[in-house]
C-alpha cells in the first residue's frame, strides 16, 4: 500500500489517532485530524497535521479523503462516522493501518475476557524467545507506534477488541487466539449477534498456513486455518489444565502454582492459550516455561490485596461484564462475599444466580445498578445494597468470616462513579489497606 500524495483523514485524536497520523505522515500522506472535542484534545498531534477541533457530522460530509482512519472509541456504524465516510475512498482503523506497514509476525488475541493477561503472557514469551514481542493494540502501545520504531520487533502480541476488529480489511494474524465469548458492550451493539460478528472478524483472512487457538466447545464457524484447542473441562483438548498444572501431548508443561502467581481456572485458560499460540510459531516448551517463571497477573485481575483476620481480599476490578464475574466466582475455592455493581450496561445478570448459590455466602451491591442487582441476587444469598464502594467494603468486611474471601468483581463498567476500572480498582485497594 502506498500513501504518498494521498489524503488521510484521522477521526478521533487519542493516542491511537496520533500514532496513525504520524505513520501516515511517514508514508508521505497529507493528513487531517478531526474530533468533536476542543483544541486541547489535539495536544501531541504532529505539527504537519491539519487539525479540526469541534468537528461535526456536517463537517464530515464535506471531507474528501482517500483513507479515513477511525478511532475504536467512535461507533463505526453511527451517523458521525457515516458522514465522514461519504466521500472516503476506504474506511479502516489504526490497527489495520499499522498492519499494512508491518513486516513481522502477528499473534492476534481476542475474547470477551482474558485478552490483556493473555497478551502479556504472549509478549513475555516472545521477548524471552528473542522475537521482541511487544504487547500492543487494545492493550499497551498502539500498533502504529510499534511500526514507527526504528527497528520494529520481529513479532507482536496484538490484543484486538471488537471495536478494532470492525475496521480490519486485510489484517491476517499468523496465529489467531479466540479465548471466549459472552455478551458485552450492549450499549454499543444492537444485538449479541452483532457483537459476536465483530469478534469473529479475527478469522476473516486466515488461510491453511495460519493457526487458530480456540477454547474447546466454542462452536465457531468453519475456517481453513489449523485449529488448536485448550480447555479446563475437556481432557481431550490439545492443551488441558486442572487449574494447577498445564498438560500438552500427555506431558506436564507448566506448574502454575510453583512456577507462576497465576491462580484460578480462567488464568489457566489464559496461560494455555498463550503457550499454544507461541508453540504454533515454533517456540519450545522449555523457553515458554522459563519466560513464565515468576509471572504475576496485571493489577485488577483477581489481585490479592491482603489477608486480614483470615479473610482474603481480591481486586478483580477488570471484571466489567457478566462473563468475567462468573469466571472469577467459579475460580474461588473459599466461600465468597461478593462486591458487585457499577454502571448500567443493559446486561442480564440472572445467569450468575445459580453460581452465587454454589459459591457465595453473601453479596454487597453498589453504584448505579445496586438496587436491581440486589433484588436479583437476594434470591440466592443474603444481600446488602449500598451507594458507594467505601460502604461496600465496610459491609463486606462485616459479612466475611475467617476462611472466606471478599471478591471485588463488579461485573460491569465503572463509569458511574470512576474514570475507569483502574481507578476503581485502586480505590478498592486503598480502602482495603485502610481496614484495621
DSSP H helices, 210-367, are 256-259, 265-280, 285-292, 322-330, 353-359
Distance between CA atoms of residues 302 and 316, nearest Å = 4
Among residues 321, 313, 320, 372, the alpha carbon closest in space to that of 338 is found at 313
- The burial class, CB within 10 Å (0-12 / 13-18 / 19+), for 286 is exposed
Phi/psi region, residue 243 (left: phi>0; alpha: psi -120 to 50; beta: rest), is left
Task: State the DSSP H helix or E strand holding residue 34, giving kind and residue range, or none if neither.
Answer: strand 30-34
Using CA atoms, how far residue 33 sits from 38, 56, 147, 165, in Å, is: 12, 13, 20, 22
Catalytic residue IDs: 115, 138, 185
- The burial class, CB within 10 Å (0-12 / 13-18 / 19+), for 184 is buried
Name the one residue in this structure whose C-alpha cell is 493528513: 31
Cβ 153 vs Cβ 134: under 8 Å: yes
Cβ 381 vs Cβ 357: under 8 Å: yes
Name the one residue in this structure whose C-alpha cell is 458492550: 185
Estimate to the nearest angstrom the gap between the alpha carbon of 368 and the chain centroid. Answer: 23
Using CA atoms, how far residue 36 sits from 54, 269, 358, 364, in Å, is: 4, 40, 48, 39
Cβ 256 vs Cβ 267: under 8 Å: yes
- Which residue pairs from 433-436 have beta carbons closer than 8 angstroms and sit at least 24 positions apart in sequence? 433/305, 433/306, 435/308, 435/393, 435/397
Among residues 132, 199, 203, the alpha carbon closest in space to that of 160 is found at 199
Distance between CA atoms of residues 200 and 171, nearest Å = 13
Amino acid at each position: 500500500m502506498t500513501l504518498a500524495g494521498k489524503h488521510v483523514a484521522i477521526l478521533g485524536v487519542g493516542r491511537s489517532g496520533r500514532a496513525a497520523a504520524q505513520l501516515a505522515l511517514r508514508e508521505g500522506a497529507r493528513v487531517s485530524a478531526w474530533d468533536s472535542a476542543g483544541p486541547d484534545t489535539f495536544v501531541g498531534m504532529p505539527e504537519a497535521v491539519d487539525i479540526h477541533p469541534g468537528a461535526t457530522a456536517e463537517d464530515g460530509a464535506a471531507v474528501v479523503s482517500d483513507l479515513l482512519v477511525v478511532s475504536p472509541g467512535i461507533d463505526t456504524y453511527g451517523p458521525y462516522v457515516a458522514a465522514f465516510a461519504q466521500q472516503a475512498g476506504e474506511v479502516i482503523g489504526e490497527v489495520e493501518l499499522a498492519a499494512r506497514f508491518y513486516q513481522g509476525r502477528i499473534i492476534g488475541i481476542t475474547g470477551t475476557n482474558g485478552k490483556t493477561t493473555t497478551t502479556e503472557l504472549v509478549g513475555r514469551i516472545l521477548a524471552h524467545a528473542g522475537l521482541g514481542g511487544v504487547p500492543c493494540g487494545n492493550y499497551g502501545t498502539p500498533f502504529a507506534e510499534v511500526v514507527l520504531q526504528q527497528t520494529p520487533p520481529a513479532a507482536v502480541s496484538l490484543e484486538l477488541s471488537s471495536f478494532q476488529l470492525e475496521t480490519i480489511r486485510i489484517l491476517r494474524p499468523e496465529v489467531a487466539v479466540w479465548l471466549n465469548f459472552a455478551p458485552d458492550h450492549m450499549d454499543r451493539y444492537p444485538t449479541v449477534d452483532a457483537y459476536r460478528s465483530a469478534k469473529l472478524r479475527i478469522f476473516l483472512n486466515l488461510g491453511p498456513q495460519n493457526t487458530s487457538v480456540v477454547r474447546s466447545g466454542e462452536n465457531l464457524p468453519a475456517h481453513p486455518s489449523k485449529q488448536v484447542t485448550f480447555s479446563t473441562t475437556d481432557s481431550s483438548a490439545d492443551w488441558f489444565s486442572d487449574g494447577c498444572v498445564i498438560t500438552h501431548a500427555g506431558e506436564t508443561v507448566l506448574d502454575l502454582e510453583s512456577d507462576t502467581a497465576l491462580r484460578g481456572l480462567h488464568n489457566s485458560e489464559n496461560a494455555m492459550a498463550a503457550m499454544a499460540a507461541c508453540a504454533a510459531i515454533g517456540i519450545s516448551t522449555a523457553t515458554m516455561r522459563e519466560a513464565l517463571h515468576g509471572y504475576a497477573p496485571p493489577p485488577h485481575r483477581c489481585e490479592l490485596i491482603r489477608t486480614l483476620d483470615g479473610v482474603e481480599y481480591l481486586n478483580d476490578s477488570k471484571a466489567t461484564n457478566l462473563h468475567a464475574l462468573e469466571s472469577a466466582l467459579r475460580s474461588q475455592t473459599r466461600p465468597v462475599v461478593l462486591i458487585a455493581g457499577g454502571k448500567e450496561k443493559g446486561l442480564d445478570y440472572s445467569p450468575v444466580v445459580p453460581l452465587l448459590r454454589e459459591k457465595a455466602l453473601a453479596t454487597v451491591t453498589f453504584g448505579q445498578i445496586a438496587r436491581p442487582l440486589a433484588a436479583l441476587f437476594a434470591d440466592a444469598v443474603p444481600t446488602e445494597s449500598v451507594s458507594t464502594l467505601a460502604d461496600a467494603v465496610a459491609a463486606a468486611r462485616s459479612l466475611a468470616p475467617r476462611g472466606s474471601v471478599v471478591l471485588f468483581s463488579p461485573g460491569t463498567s465503572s463509569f458511574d462513579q470512576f474514570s475507569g476500572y483502574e481507578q476503581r480498582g485502586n480505590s478498592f485497594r486503598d480502602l482495603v489497606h485502610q481496614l484495621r
